[in-house]
Amino acid sequence: MIKRKLWIILVWSMTIFGSPFTPGVSNVYAYRPFVSTDAAVVEKGETEIEIGLFGISHDEGLDEITIPSLIYNYGLSDTWEFVAEFDVQVYKEGEERDRELKDPALFLKGVLQEGILQGKEGTSIAVEFGALLPSTVRGKRDAGIEGIGILSGKASDLTYHFNFGGELDREDFGFNAIWGIILEYPLDSKFRVVGEVNGTFQRHGLPSNSGLIGFIWELGDIDLDFGIRRGFSDAASDWELATGITFSF
């Protein structure tokens, strides 16, 4: 079982890092490995790709491997972008079916007030809203909708991003409140230590809250990220580990 997990991760990592494709990067500002997001969009006509190389979660003694996760961002204008995202589960312990398409979604994200993330003074304010598409996971094969507000600012060298909103979920179109806080601190011009706390308050069910600590490292044409997440409530995974890359062109 352990050999199988390691083999899946090794093959995927070699595929990504051994690829001859080397994109040219413009203004990469990685927002992996977070669940929450920032009050910024990619430039008009630009594409940004966020790839989760692999993610491992452990919940109640059972492991799950996700390879890959993907977020695609395209700049529609100076203040709006299109976002598409999904995860591919390739292994889940204790389940008859390993492979699942998880959490597909389509969003629009717009900057309502330009601020520090746009090279100006003050708080950056944005909104993101869209459709939660059906997944192949049992119990999550219906559609939903989601919308959040985002505030990004800076206190001394510490950059922060606040998220708050809600969703009508894929399970039964029930309402869940969504919240999240990201903190970033630069150790130098290329390396940022990051943290996040986030969660959901469900109208019918247990809250799912967790925290993450990790880093984002600018390595030439790509940004490399790594994070370890710990669940704070029964509905969240006990722990998760994820790493990925971000590039744009």
Q: Quote the pLDDT of residue 30.
A: 54
Q: How far is CA 114 from CA 59, 124, 194, 203, in A?
A: 40, 5, 23, 34
Domain limits for position 120? 2-13+31-248
- Cα gap 134→247, rounded to integer Å: 27
Residue 196 is part of a domain; what is its CATH number?
Answer: 2.40.160.40
pLDDT of res. 18: 45
Cis peptide leading into residue 207 (ω within 30°): no
DSSP 8-class letter at 3? H
| Position 203 in a domain | yes
Closest to 35 in 3D by CA, of 203, 236, 249? 236
Residue 74 lies in a domain: yes
Q: Looking at the domain assignment, is residue 91 inside a domain? A: yes
Tell me which residue of 109, 107, 111, 181 sits closest to 144, measured CA to CA. 107
Domain assignment present for residue 65? The answer is: yes
In whole angstroms, give the CA distance from residue 210 to residue 200: 10
Element (H, E) at 155: strand 144-155
In a domain, 190, yes or no: yes
pLDDT at 152: 98
Which residues of the chain register pLDDT less than 50? 1-28
- The pair of three-digit structure tokens given for residue 118, joined into one six-digit string: 């746009």
| Predicted pLDDT of residue 23 | 46
* Domain count for the chain: 1
In-domain check, residue 19: no
